[in-house]
Amino acid sequence: MATHTSSAKKSAAGAFFDALASLYHRRWLLRYFVHRQVTRNYRRSYLGFAWAFLGPLIWVFFLSLIFSKIIGIRFRVVEGDPTLNFGLFLYCGLLPFLAFSESLNKGINSIKGNSGLVQKVVFPLELLPFTNAITSLVDKVFGLGALLLILLVLEHRWHWTVVLLPLLMVIQLLFILGLTYLMAVVGTYVPDVAEIMRPIIRGMFFATPILWPTGRLPESLSWIVDYNPLAYLVESYRALILYGELPGGMATLYFSLFAVALFIVGFAVFVRFKPGFADQL
Amino acid sequence: MIPAVSLEGIGKKYRISASRSSLLKETLSFGKVKRSHDFWALQDINLKVRPGTTLGILGRNGAGKSTLLRIISGVLQPTTGTIEVNGRLTAIFGLGSGFNPEFTGRENAMLNGLILGIDHQEMLERFDEIAAFADIGDFMDQPVRTYSSGMRSRLGLAVAVNVDPDILVLDEALSAGDAAFKKKALQRMYDLLDSGTTILFVSHSMGMVKRFCTDAVLLHKGRLVTSGSPDEVADRYQELIESAQEQKDIRVSGPDRGLDEMLDREEEEDLEGVRSSNDSTRDGGVTASSRRGAREAEIQAVQVFDEKGETASEVPSGSTVTVRVHARFAVAVEDSALGITLRSKKAGVDLFSTDTEEEKTSLGPKEKGEQTTVDFTFGVPLQPGRYAVSAAISAPREEDPCLDQAEKAAVLKVTRDGSELSGGGLVRLPTKVEIHSPRSGQERPSQLT
């Protein structure tokens, strides 16, 4: 059996599916990688892994406290839904945005940050961005748990649409994976991208309906929401969690197609460029 | 036979530039500005490694050894040429490199094993074995940040050697840990060898390569200079180092020549006891492989004695030694001469040679089956180092005069103790110094010995 031959140029599709298969073959390694990344920050603390949940819980608690009792009333009027707490509204939009910004930032570093491994060990490199993407999403699952708990405490009910969240997160994962893989390649070959991305990510924060409700947007600017995949995610999270509504059908279809295409492109580009990574470090 | 590893025309080019921004300027100028240059880390490497071989890769720093291993293991892609690897390959560049200090030894070992490609289930089954090999006791369940560096590399090696690869690629990994651990690691390497594993490894230590390898190659400035038996290649490597050192010695005065000698010795001591069976040359027993001659006489043993008349493998520089040669004649010989040669291992030259005839002593006619013992006593005003003693018997006749010859039958080690040697040269010749001062017009002999 030939373990590797660099003479025989594999077809691009062959390499693509080989790499995809390696994600499955090395699933245990993937599991340990994710476990390591998720638990790393809490290792030395007394409460340990509980912080993964407690951290977001404290955050949501303060957000809802601040915006309901102190300056909340004003926003409730703006919001147009008096039952809705603005702190929860904000946090619900923050979750998908944070998953997005983290995947960009971690993606850029996913090869550089593991130079010890990349230069020294032969193993499927496609595991590294995958780990980052999964980790940032797992992180948000804990945030989601905290949000749902506070929601239960404040409003005493959950909408049934919450059960559809895992489905939405699968599509979101593809979206994040595509971004992470693309960023891993770009960030490795052109380190300057890290500098470019910082203002872009900040801009995206304000261009996405996180702080403001879409209803307030003038007609002439509606394209900001229509062509912003992040806006779809933010709106859908809110629809499923806060309003108990279903996200728009066409929007969901478009976003799904976009996410799948982004993943395929990102992964293919990654597979195409990964042989040169070790030389770039 | 299908080679385990086959390289054809492998080359690796790097573009050297001060920074990426200077590369950008170069690209933007469309070739008008040239700020980078190409550097070939490897060039035109052709190599076939048969399954079951232990290949030592020798070469000075920067010769391209690690680059070659990385290309073979698939971490780096070659710029030119083709490479074929048949079998499951495990490469170990630096031990415990993937360890995270916050996690326990057990967790890190598991992750390390998974990275190296061991199955999760297999890893669980082997855990006791790994823990026993690493021998770090309860620290196995402590975070790695509490480990000493030695413990860290022991754990790394424990995981690494518990992989069962067809081809194992090692980059200086064996130099970790103390002597006892090194021995254990080597023993494990021998086990792997016996089970037919192909091992490729880089080492600066010629001792390691000579003992451990079946084949060796020498890299110099990115090219494969020699390949062949470890002894031959190690000799070439030695020449290479010396020629480089000579150039350096002109500029730098008083280099500590004892240092590499010391390192060599340390290594050898570490390795002692690991398969000492192939070490019969050590105490005067003469192996068949180094023999030449018609066997009309036989040199049975060559011994070295110090000034006190005790057998010695080490003598201080400047002292007197006696080389005793035992010989036996298989046929009756009318006249013959017995001689010895002292060869500097480091310099690779014969330093001194003499025989009974030269010293005006005759062996006289010998009967069939007669034995004789000849002592040569001489001073050794030599630089510290290893010297090989060869012995030969010859007869004055037309055809091949050699009756028997034992190459490197004994090793004499000259130590630094009490040495009055100056920095340079191979020997200390008796010297007298006179200063002639033209001003005073008067000769003033003065001895500065």
Q: Could you read off the pLDDT of B371-388 as tens digits, one per residue? A: 888 899 988 888 777 788
Mean pLDDT of B287-296: 53
pLDDT band, residue A174 (cuts 50/70/90): very high
Does A276 contact B at CB distance below 8 Å?
yes
Question: What pLDDT score was predicted for residue B213?
Answer: 85
Q: What is the pTM of this model?
A: 0.68
User: Cβ separation of B98 and A117 shorter than 8 Å?
Assistant: yes
Question: What pLDDT score was predicted for residue B439?
Answer: 63
User: Cβ separation of A116 and B98 shorter than 8 Å?
Assistant: yes
> How is residue B32 written in tokens?
């008008």
Question: What pLDDT score was predicted for residue A184?
Answer: 93
- Which region among A9-18, A94-103, A254-263, B51-60 has the lowest average model confidence (pLDDT)? A9-18
Measured in whole angstroms, the distance separating CA B3 from the mean position of its chain's CA atoms is 26
The answer to whether the CB of B227 falls within 8 A of the CB of B218 is yes
- For residue B15, the distance in angstroms to the closest alpha carbon of chain A comes to 10
Determine the length of chain B: 449
Q: How far is CA B346 from CA A29, B203, B258, B290, B419, in A?
A: 49, 18, 11, 19, 18
Q: Which residue of A has its CA nearest to B77?
A: A275
- Which region among A140-149, B33-42, B88-97, B264-273 has the lowest average model confidence (pLDDT)? B264-273
Mutation target for A interface from B75, B116, B152: give the one with most A CBs within 10 A. B75
Beta strands B167-171 and B314-316, pairing class = unpaired
Alpha carbons B394 and B296: distance in angstroms, whole number: 10
Average pLDDT value for chain B = 77
- Which region among A44-58, A71-85, A162-176, B320-334 has the lowest average model confidence (pLDDT)? A71-85
pLDDT band, residue B281 (cuts 50/70/90): very low
Q: Which residue of B has its CA nearest to A189?
A: B20
Does A191 contact B at CB distance below 8 Å?
yes
Which of B76, B91, B110 is opposite residue A32, by nearest beta carbon?
B110
Alpha carbons A70 and A13: distance in angstroms, whole number: 57
pLDDT, one tens digit per residue, over B102-157 is 888 888 888 888 888 888 888 888 888 888 888 888 888 888 888 887 788 788 87
- For residue B156, the distance in angstroms to the closest alpha carbon of chain A comes to 13
User: Cβ separation of A116 and B97 shorter than 8 Å?
Assistant: yes
Question: What pLDDT score was predicted for residue B278?
Answer: 37
- For residue A75, the distance in angstroms to the closest alpha carbon of chain B comes to 44
pLDDT band, residue B261 (cuts 50/70/90): low
Judged against a pLDDT cut of 60, whether residue B264 lies above it is answered with no
> How is residue A174 written in tokens?
């593809």
Question: What pLDDT score was predicted for residue A84?
Answer: 61
Alpha carbons B281 and B292: distance in angstroms, whole number: 16
Residue B259 burial (CB count, 10 A): 9
* Burial class of residue A236 (count of CB atoms within 10 Å of its CB; 0-12, 13-18, 19+): buried
pLDDT, one tens digit per residue, over B244-256 is 766 655 544 444 4
Judged against a pLDDT cut of 90, whether residue A182 lies above it is answered with yes
Mean pLDDT of A10-15: 77
Chain B partners within 8 Å of A32 (Cβ):
107, 110-111, 114
User: Cβ separation of B114 and A5 shorter than 8 Å?
Assistant: no
pLDDT, one tens digit per residue, over A104-137 is 888 898 888 888 788 877 788 899 999 999 998 9
Task: List residues in chain B touching A: CB distance below 8 A.
Answer: 14, 20, 70, 73-78, 82-89, 91, 93-94, 97-98, 100, 102-103, 107, 110-111, 114-117, 119-120, 143
- Which region among B58-72, B192-206, B250-264 has the lowest average model confidence (pLDDT)? B250-264
**In chain A, % of residues over pLDDT 90:** 24
Q: Which long-range contacts (CB under 8 A, 24 or more apart) does A245-248 make?
A: A245/A161, A246/A161, A246/A164, A247/A168
Q: Rounded to the nearest 5°, which phi and psi values hold at B55? A: -105, 120
The answer to whether the CB of B227 falls within 8 A of the CB of B215 is yes
Question: What pLDDT score was predicted for residue B256?
Answer: 46
Alpha carbons B189 and B228: distance in angstroms, whole number: 21
Judged against a pLDDT cut of 60, whether residue B240 lies above it is answered with yes
Q: Which residue of A has its CA nearest to B24?
A: A190
* Burial class of residue B340 (count of CB atoms within 10 Å of its CB; 0-12, 13-18, 19+): buried
Helix ranges (DSSP H) in A12-113 = 12-25, 27-40, 51-65, 72-79, 86-109
Question: What pLDDT score was predicted for residue A183?
Answer: 92
- For residue A109, the distance in angstroms to the closest alpha carbon of chain B comes to 16
Q: Which residue of A has its CA nearest to B86?
A: A2
Mean pLDDT of A86-95: 84
Judged against a pLDDT cut of 80, whether residue B183 lies above it is answered with no
Mean pLDDT of B171-184: 69
Chain A partners within 8 Å of B114 (Cβ):
26, 28-29, 32
User: Cβ separation of A26 and B70 shorter than 8 Å?
Assistant: no
Interface A–B counts its CB contacts (< 8 A) at: 90
Q: How far is CA A58 from CA A53, A98, A242, B247, B385, in A?
A: 9, 17, 19, 70, 71
Chain A partners within 8 Å of B143 (Cβ):
43
What domains does chain B contain, in order, with CATH numbers? 5-88+165-251 (3.40.50.300), 288-415 (2.70.50.60)
- Residue A197 CB partners (closer than 8 Å, separation 6+): A104, A105, A108, A183
Alpha carbons A205 and A228: distance in angstroms, whole number: 11
Alpha carbons B15 and B366: distance in angstroms, whole number: 71
Q: How far is CA A211 from CA A75, A99, A149, A214, A216, in A?
A: 10, 17, 22, 10, 11
